[in-house]
Amino acid sequence: MEFLYQYGLFLAKTLTLLLALVFIIIVVASSAARSRGQGKNEGNIAVNKLNEEFERIKDDLRAEILDEELLKAEDKAQRVQEKAERKAREKAGITADDGKKRIFVLSFDGDMRASAVEELRHCISGIVAVARPELDEVLLKLESPGGMVHAYGFAASQLTRLRQAKLRLTIAVDLVAASGGYMMACVADHLVAAPFAYIGSIGVLVQLPNVHRLLQDHKIDMEMITAGEYKRTLTTFGENTEKDRQKVQEEVNEMHSLFKNFISQYRPALDVASVATGEVWTGQQALERGLVDALEVSDEWLMRRLDDYDIYAVEWEYKKKLGERLSELFEGSFARTLDKVTFGWLQRADKERFFS
């Protein structure tokens, strides 16, 4: 029995090692494939009509909770109403195509590099090509803690294309729009946020480690040859001087001024000087300070318009090779397992503590 136990343990360890190696190979290969594929813009726009999706959900729920006779009666009444509305539209000369205004729904999940801007730009190009100016609208569901200034500046510039095309832009923040995320958010004609969403962080920072003294202690020299007085200022390996720090501080201040001016351009009623402190506020606090226009989650905003608008979710999908699909499968499974194990350990370690 001891032999079988040891043999089984050996097989389990070997299998675990093999799976880990396969996972690493797939992740590396798929990352390279994604980089090549995205550079070629190989993909297509996917469209999903949210009105129909909501109706399916509603019908499934009604079928479960309503009496069969009552359900039939309601369905009959709905058909009669739809027939009357159809006749009214025909009498008024309104076709099915132009009977309703349209809302196009976009999503942006931001990271440090605002990588999702590539998908966003394709979707915006498609919408601008087909949407009816001053009639159709766009809702962007935005989530981002911010990141690189130039990347988020480019993302915000993409959103200005919608306004230039005379399409009303609403941006909904359910979780967070901070720093570069708020730079994007302020472009909206109407900005809504959930009560506990994080809003703000209107500031700029530069930070990097410096190991110059560590290298000196180990008698390691760092050589750098530049042309131009400020080609390099603060560095990780070299010795940083007060002159270097002053130059970077000037650049940070200038970038902060550009950030504040950009916000003022799109939210002229906002007292930018009082909120451009780098602080973060909840949605409720942001409303009181004029950073947002209303408290509302994106689902609520959409559901109130289902009867009056045709609503389409629009996203850009890259063509994925087998390796990429397998990588996503492994990554998702690994992340879920890690989350379950970690959170379970935390619960066992401290059952009396609340997390918020």
pTM (two decimals): 0.75
162-203 per-position pLDDT tens digit: 999 999 999 999 999 999 999 999 999 999 999 999 999 999
Catalytic residues: 179, 231
Which pLDDT value is given to residue 75? 72
The answer to whether residues 283 and 295 touch, using CB atoms and an 8 Å cutoff, is yes
Q: Is the pLDDT of residue 93 over 90?
A: no
Between 105 and 81, the more confident residue is: 105
What 3-state class would DSSP assign to 309? strand
CA distance 146 to 183: 9
Whether residue 162 is found in the same domain as residue 228:
no
Between 26 and 145, the more confident residue is: 145
> Is there a domain that residue 112 lies in?
yes
Task: Give the closest residue to 106 by CA, choosing from 90, 125, 92, 83.
Answer: 125
Where is the domain boundary, 269, 300, 320?
269
Query: How many Cα atoms are found within 13 Å in the side-chain-facing hemisphere of 17?
Result: 6
Whether residue 25 is found in the same domain as residue 120:
no
Distances (CA, A) of 78 to 72, 94, 309, 336: 10, 21, 18, 43
Where is the domain boundary, 269, 291, 321?
269
> Is there a domain that residue 210 lies in?
yes
Residues 6+ apart with CB under 8 A from 290: 267, 269, 270, 271, 275
Count of domains in the chain?
A: 3
Where is the domain boundary, 241, 269, 297?
269
Average pLDDT over residues 64-93: 72
> Is there a domain that residue 66 lies in?
no
Average pLDDT over residues 23-33: 62
> Is there a domain that residue 223 lies in?
yes
CA distance 201 to 193: 15
Domain that holds residue 2: 1-40
132-152 per-position pLDDT tens digit: 999 999 999 999 999 999 999
Q: What average pLDDT is seen over the chain?
A: 84
Q: Is the pLDDT of residue 247 over 80?
A: yes
Whether residue 299 is found in the same domain as residue 150:
yes
Q: Where residue 314 sits, what CATH number does that domain have?
A: 3.90.226.10
206-221 per-position pLDDT tens digit: 888 999 888 888 888 8
* Residue appearing with tokens 């131009």: 228
Whether residue 124 is found in the same domain as residue 251:
no
Whether residue 301 is found in the same domain as residue 251:
no
Whether residue 134 is found in the same domain as residue 234:
no
What 3-state class would DSSP assign to 220? coil
